[in-house]
Amino acid sequence: MPETPLSRITSLDALKAATMACRECPIGEFATQSVIGEGKLKARLMLVGEQPGDQEDLAGHPFIGPAGKLLARALAAAGIPQEQTYVSNAVKHFKYELRGKRRIHKSPSQREISACQHWLEDEIALVKPAALVALGASAARSLIGRAVPVMVNRGQWLPRPDGREVLVTLHPSALLRVDAEDREPAFEAFVADLRQAQRLFAR
Ligand code: SF4
């Protein structure tokens, strides 16, 4: 993981303003706005996804669409109090391709994830979470600093260069694409992954 230069970002408002103005990769030009994370400062757990989706881009809030609702349900099932978490994304602008009038999610490239990584590091420095969850491969790459095969490492804690642990699992949007008959077992497996973080909230 490259060393982050000394940052002048000292608040989430400053992070929002700086990412709004950022054009360090091509994604920012075409999005409505940047979307940074929300939740509790000094959270026991910070969950990091890939990038804002269509609804998040329009509203300016993370995880408010179908994947966010599924994540909320899974956190509740895993016994993790959502109000004690912080949720964000590895990439702060929405990348998409137009199909007619529809904006279809497009995965950020490795270069784009790397370009946005210093903003995520600023956010982690502000939030000061005890531990993190990587939701999918893009988040795992950004948080851990190398490619992580998610299906091999799901449900496991991997160390970050800063010493914090990262629990690896799927992005909830992957569960939305599962065939109907496989959806319940896939959800249960996702909850089982998240349950690995439940100990952080034990009294
Ligand atoms: S996605 Fe990240 S690096 Fe790219 S323009 Fe937006 S804030 Fe900057």
What is the per-residue pLDDT across 187-198, written as a single tens digit (0 to 9) for each? Answer: 999 999 999 999
At 202 the pLDDT is 78
Taking CA atoms, 12 is separated from 35, 72, 84, in Å, by: 11, 23, 17
Tell which atom from ligand 1 comes closest to the C-alpha of 19: 7
Query: d(Cα 121, Cα 31) in Å, to the nearest integer?
Result: 21
Instruction: Judge whether residue 7 has pLDDT over 80.
Output: no
DSSP secondary structure string, 81-112?
-GGGEEEEESSSS--EEEETTEEEE-PPPHHH
190 with 197: CB under 8 angstroms?
no
pLDDT (average), residues 6-20: 92
Query: Could you tell me the pLDDT band of residue 5, with boundaries at 50, 70 and 90?
Result: low
Supply the pLDDT for residue 6.
Answer: 61
CA distance 49 to 137: 9
Its sign, for the CA torsion 66, 151, 92, 30, is: negative
Residues 6+ apart with CB under 8 A from 113: 90, 91, 138, 141, 142
Round the average pLDDT of the chain to a whole number and report it: 95
Both tokens assigned to 61? 């809030």
Distance 68 CA to ligand 1 centre (A): 21
CATH topology of domain 12-196: Uracil-DNA Glycosylase, subunit E (3.40.470)
pTM of the model: 0.95
3 pLDDT band, cuts 50/70/90, is very low
Give the span between the Cα atoms of 166 and 13, in whole angstroms.
26
- Summarize pLDDT for 82-119 with one digit per residue, the tens: 999 999 999 999 999 999 999 999 999 999 999 999 99
> Residue 2: its pLDDT value, please?
47
Answer whether 19 contacts ligand 1 (Cβ < 6 A): yes
Average pLDDT over residues 5-17: 87
Instruction: Tell me the percentage of the chain whose pLDDT exceeds 90.
Output: 94
Q: Are 12 and 3 in contact (CB under 8 A)?
A: no
Q: Give the residue, by CA position, lying nearest to ligand 1 atom 3.
A: 116
Listed in sequence order, the residues at least 6 apart from 8 whose beta carbon sits closer than 8 Å to its beta carbon are 14
Query: Judging by DSSP bridges, how do beta strands 85-89 and 102-105 pair with one another?
Result: unpaired
What is the three-class DSSP state of 45?
strand
Q: How far is the CA of 49 from the centre of ligand 1 (A)?
A: 15
- Nearest protein CA to atom 7 of ligand 1, as residue: 19
- Check if 92 has its Cβ closer than 6 Å to any atom of ligand 1: yes
Chain segment 41-92, per-residue pLDDT in tens:
999 999 999 999 999 999 999 999 999 999 999 999 999 999 999 999 999 9
